[in-house]
Structure 1
Amino acid sequence: MFYIFTLPMILKHINQIPVIAEAHGAKYAVLSPGSRVAPLTLAFTRYKKIECFTLSDERSAAFAAMGMAEASSTPVVIACTSGTAASNYIPAVTEAYYRQIPMVILTADRPPEWIDQWDGQTIRQNNLYSNHIKRSFELPVDTSHEDAQWQSNRIINEAFIEAKKHPCGPVHVNIPLREPFYPEPGENFKFERKVRIIENGEITRSIPLNILSDLEKKYKESRNVLILAGQSNISRENQEKLSDWARRKNIPVITDIISNCFNVDTAITKADIFLKTLKESEFNKLNPDLIISFGKSIISKNTKIYLRLRINRKQEHWYVGINEFLSDPLQNLTKTIDVEIDQFLDQTMDWENKDPKYLKSWQAKEEKAEAKLNSILGKNGETLNELSVSKAILQSLPENTNLHLANSMPVRWVNFISGKGRNLHIIANRGTSGIDGTISTAMGHSIVKSDKYNVILTGDLSFFYDRNSLWHNYDYKNLCIVIMNNRSGGIFGLIDGPSRQPESNEWFETRQMLTARNIARDHKLQYFKCTTTTHIAEAKELIKSSSGRIIIEIFTEPDHNKKVFKALFQ
């Protein structure tokens, strides 16, 4: 496919970028205001085949773009002006890198001769994200020669190819620009057919037969096999395939809430609770001979600690997935299998079934942990605490809801409960597990997928930290924000180390008395305050109604939360 421009400006290579982006599947661009970025802004906004959004806070803009990319499964463009604007992208870029979400980052820059010359809005932008990016490129500053035009075209094509290539991820293109940035009045700004598009055809990987045979031999030698599912956007079809595979073979699937595998028939969702208190005499019943893991991060520290400690000399641990780096969080990896999990399941469907005794051992622990959880919830039913609030929110969600979980405690409380039996999709920024970006990421989902209901469960600090996510002019009616406000960073009151220090309240928990009422008013959102169990019942009805543009703020006491948390592990 070819396009060309009839434009008397010297920036013809810039005006090719949106055309190349669209040809590679991009549907959205998030642009932040600035002067140096003006040529990119004009090129994208005048090219009507890509929907453009302007978000002023670059940190929030990048997380919103990441949410758009995740929601649409397409590479999303972000573009900003020079200087610290580009630095504000870093949190979202690192998150997208570890979550394998495709983004193409375009940073307008000063010409190279002005770097380190105390010129305004000038920093060292080339390779700014180099440790957390798939590839970094820089366009030529002088494109008057046709070879430089060819180079620029090739780089932009390569950037989009790289962002989409498995494993997907962010790619950076730094773009030095000299003035003039703006077309003169009456200048012809017309897109015509004739721009080179370089296509890339990825081949589906499969396990070679000789390797598959060796794997099956190891599998047959293993009596106790378990699957460990890390963070995943696994499709409904592949969830069912995994469920069928594990059920037939009598294999437990250890899941976190963020694995989106909690509805697998043999799912073990309460490992984080019962592995903490497991007696030494019970270890052997649960010890695996073979671990098959897939996905990314795991929330449960207790699961990781247990599986690290239960190393034996004959144990095998296979990781199934395609990554840029070798990850061994359990410290016992023996083999990597470079295919996606669905391909692995397809090729191993006829492997032998295992004795159900091992699965039943895990399921017995799961049932006891479930009973313990319900007992704790029953004892604290009239007291507002974050565990009971999390369960109430889960119960109120309509089918097919996107549930966005903030880091620190919200994602952990929901992980204790699990989403078993619910048709939900869980989203969390667990690539780097930072406090920033939860609301912005969900906002990106809401803006581009108006038919999908999005509910956020967040703590107060995460919400206030990301309040600029609401600062834009775009309509959305499908976003409900639930804040558990304990007036502090509650996780530090639950961890033994910081909670024992006399400085804890000020320097770790950072107590504060803010509420979200005025933020809701400023951004024209409905606001509902919860301080009693009666209010919770009303809040559940508000969530069930799927009416977006609402903030529900639920106030809990840190001491109650701490009591419930400790009861889970007694």
Structure 2
Amino acid sequence: MILKHINQIPVIAEAHGAKYAVLSPGSRVAPLTLAFTRYRKIECFTLSDERSAAFAALGMAEASNSPVVIACTSGTAASNYIPAVTEAYYRQIPMVILTADRPPEWIDQWDGQTIRQSNLYSNHIKRSFELPVDTSHEDAQWRSNRIINEAFIEAKKHPCGPVHVNIPLREPFYPEPGEKFVYEKNVRIIENSETIRAIPENTLIELHQKYKQGKKILILAGQSNINDETRKKLSDWAKEKNIPVITDIISNCYNVETGITKADIFLKTLKQSEYAKLNPDLIISFGKSIISKNTKLYLRKTVNKKQEHWYVGINEFLSDPLQNLTRTIDLEIDQFLAQTRDWESKDSKYLELWRAKEEKTERKLGKVLSEYKTYLNELLVSKAVFESLPENSKLHLANSMPVRWANFISGKGKNINVIANRGTSGIDGTISTASGHAIIEPARYNVILTGDLSFFYDRNSLWHNYGYKNLCIVIMNNHSGGIFGLIDGPSKQPENKEWFETRQMLTAKNIARDHKLQYFRCTRVEQLQEAKGLINTSVGRLIIEIFTEPEENKKVFKALFQ
């Protein structure tokens, strides 16, 4: 049986800019699957594991900057979307989640694949909707149309994010033999126009006065997908005004001229006597999460009565991770830079203090790399990956230690795009997210730097029929959750190796064979050069597995912070 209100969904989705849909198999979801796959104007993909499917869709939405549809059957299938939904929420990535459901009268009645799906993602979603189960009346059809339009409008509206539409469906789910799919030509599309935000003139004057009073001004860049044009504007603005910009690798601001990329290392060992010298009068922050715990701890300690902290960005909630926020400015960073272009320069002495620390740490980093180059370690591997990245490639960083090692060694250099699931910082979904990028952008090369646990946790990301040739997975396999051997708490406990590091002896060789990926095993420093050559080819489907020893990684980690 063909359902008119279901057949309208792909038409409305396309009108609102959706280009892709990721569908997972199931019976209850069949009307949605058929509606999307037979529409032909939205490219559809099928991934059986709903957790992986949702992360792949997140990657597609991030790469295309457009809302991506995901659809699944009822029951635990919908629950498996939760990790990716929470990530999309905190990363402000537009997704429209369609969950097929049992009719309401069958909830809590021991019926198969039936759970309470209404508001399933309620704490980490922009909006939740439910379509009417009976659409025989024209008012119900009108309501269904309105809900789908609103769902896509909400997903795209700044701040973007995931939106959930629960869809109760009664049998039959499949069209009768000979029944033709017909898509209406005049489906109602409700458009939304967002206005351009700007700082009001009186507020701009007030902000300028406070800027003038500050002698030591600091920009803090959180996670962002900042484009080349905005990055150059930021670089020019900060250079002209002599203002240091603290950048994590995931801020994608590493080529900003006054960028400070090594703060995570040198702020850890900063002497108490140096605190006041680097203490800013005004912090201007933008973006989302910050990797560097040491940066956050330092800036929390530098609070003084006259200090200002402005956050520039559009969020659904007020975020104050430094515990010193004084003002929010609800517009994008490029608009802020444009409106403050004519503000005056500051004395360069404050910038020079940060640069001196940066340069000293660069030398220290070089010394550590030189001292620990005999045996494979994760700092050495991360450096090798960076050196071999082709221009304009994407680097996907897994959580726990890979994103931190990469952050230690990052700096000015190649034009690359860095991606990491730092909205919730979970180890799940890294390979799936990168696969989403790779599938829809076949001309863009994707390199993943991951640990062994993150890789094995997400191995179903490779379980599909899409033969992209632009993905290289670099696994740093230390046979454990290495971060627990480095941080103070668990590393000092006698239970650490069994209950925190969770030692395991798996390798990726058989996974590479099963999914037809080229495999290269690296166990010696001398083999790193060959691994670098494989990464730099910019083509293929391969896994490079590099084996390191936890104790060697621990020595390097400690040397960085001595």
**2 CA distance for matches of 1:383 and 1:457?**
19
Partner of 2:477: 485
Matched, 1:545 2:537: yes
Question: For 2:245 and 2:260, how far apart are their aligned partners in 1?
Answer: 6
Q: Deviations over 1:142-186 (max 9, x none)?
A: 000000000000000000000000000000000000011100000
Instruction: Provide the rounded CA distance (Å) in 2 between the counterparts of 1:159 and 1:148.
Output: 16
1:204 CA drift (Å) = 1.1
The answer to whether the 8 Å contact 1:225/1:290 transfers is yes
The range that moved more, 280-289 or 93-102, is 280-289
- In structure 2, what residue type is equivalent to 1:84? T
Q: Which one of 71, 74, 85 corresponds to residue 79 of structure 1?
A: 71
Q: 2:325 aligns with which of 333, 345, 355?
A: 333
- Structure 1 residue 382, shift from structure 2 partner: 1.8
Does residue 375 in structure 1 map to residue 367 in structure 2? yes
In the other structure, the counterpart of 1:168 is 160
8 Å CA contact 1:10, 1:144 repeated in 2: no
Quick check: 240-249 or 532-541, which moved more? 532-541
Indicate the residue corresponding to 1:127 in structure 2. Answer: 119
**Quick one: which of 185, 202, 217 aligns to 1:210?**
202
Tell me if structure 2 keeps the 8 A contact 1:487–1:514: yes
Opposite residue 237 of structure 1, the aligned amino acid is: E
RMSD: 0.6
| SS class of match (1:202) | coil
The answer to whether the Cα contact below 8 Å between 1:480 and 1:551 also exists between their aligned partners in 2 is yes
Task: Tell me how far apart the structure 2 counterparts of residues 97 and 316 of structure 1 sit (CA, whole Å).
Answer: 28
Q: 1-side partners of 2:522 and 2:2: how far apart?
A: 59
User: Residue 359 of structure 1 aligns with which residue?
Assistant: 351
In the other structure, the counterpart of 2:290 is 298
Match of 1:52 in 2: 44
Structure 2 residue aligned with 1:96: 88
Deviations 1:496-547 (A, max 9, x none): 1101111100100000000000000000000000011121110000011112
Q: Percent identity?
A: 82
The equivalent residue for 1:234 is 226
Question: What's the CA shift for 1:10?
Answer: 5.9
Q: Shift in Å at residue 281 of structure 1?
A: 1.1
Aligned: 1:397 with 2:389: yes
Residue 242 of structure 2 is matched in structure 1 by 250
Answer whether contact 2:2 2:174 (CA < 8 A) is retained: no
Letter in 2 for 1:86: A
Task: Write the distance in 1 (CA, Å) between the matches of 2:154 and 2:164.
Answer: 10
Match of 1:5 in 2: none
Q: In structure 1, what is the Cα distance between the partners aligned to 2:216 and 2:500?
A: 42
Structure 2 residue 445 is matched with structure 1 residue 453: yes
| SS of residue in 2 equivalent to 1:214 | helix
What is the distance in 2 between the residues matched to 1:392 and 1:55? 33
SS at match of 2:379: helix
2:267 to 262, 265, 275: 275
Task: Report the Cα distance in structure 2 between the residues aligned to 1:288 and 1:436, rounded to whole angstroms.
Answer: 37
TM-score normalized by structure 1? 0.98
* Counterpart selection for 1:152 from 130, 144, 160: 144
The CA distance in 2 between the partners of 1:419 and 1:348, in whole Å, is: 27
Indicate the residue corresponding to 2:340 in structure 1. Answer: 348
Query: Which deviates more, 184-193 or 224-233?
Result: 184-193
TM-score by length of 2: 1.00
Does the 8 Å contact 1:394/1:419 carry over to 2? no
Shift of 1:420: 1.6
In structure 2, what is the equivalent of residue 503 of structure 1? 495
Q: Counterparts of 1:512 and 1:363 in 2: how far apart (Å)?
A: 42
Give runs of ≥4 in structure 1 deviating > 4 Å.
Answer: none
* Aligned residue identity for 2:186: K
Gaps of 5+ in 2: none
Residue 183 of structure 2: SS of its match in structure 1? strand
Q: Is the 8 A contact 2:8 2:184 kept in 1?
A: no
SS at match of 2:344: coil
Matched position secondary structure for 2:311 = strand
What corresponds to 1:526 in structure 2? Answer: 518
SS of 2:540's partner is coil
In 1, Cα distance between equivalents of 2:93 and 2:411: 24
Question: Does structure 1 residue 143 correspond to structure 2 residue 138?
Answer: no
Please list the CA deviations of residues 88-129 of structure 1 after superposition, one character each: whole Å capped at 9, or x if unmatched.
000000000000000000000000000001100000000000
- Give the alignment partner of residue 42 of structure 1, picking from 3, 25, 34: 34
Instruction: Please tell me the residue identity of whatever aligns with 1:431.
Output: G
Equivalent position of 1:263 in the other structure: 255
Query: Which letter does structure 2 place at the counterpart of 1:562?
Result: K
Say whether residues 1:438 and 2:430 are aligned partners: yes
1:365-396 superposed Cα distances (whole Å, 9 cap, x missing partner): 00111000000000111211000110011000
Which of 402, 411, 416 is equivalent to 2:403? 411
Paired residue total: 562
Matched to 2:413, the amino acid is G
Gap runs ≥5 in structure 1 = 1-8
User: What SS does the aligned partner of 1:292 have?
Assistant: strand
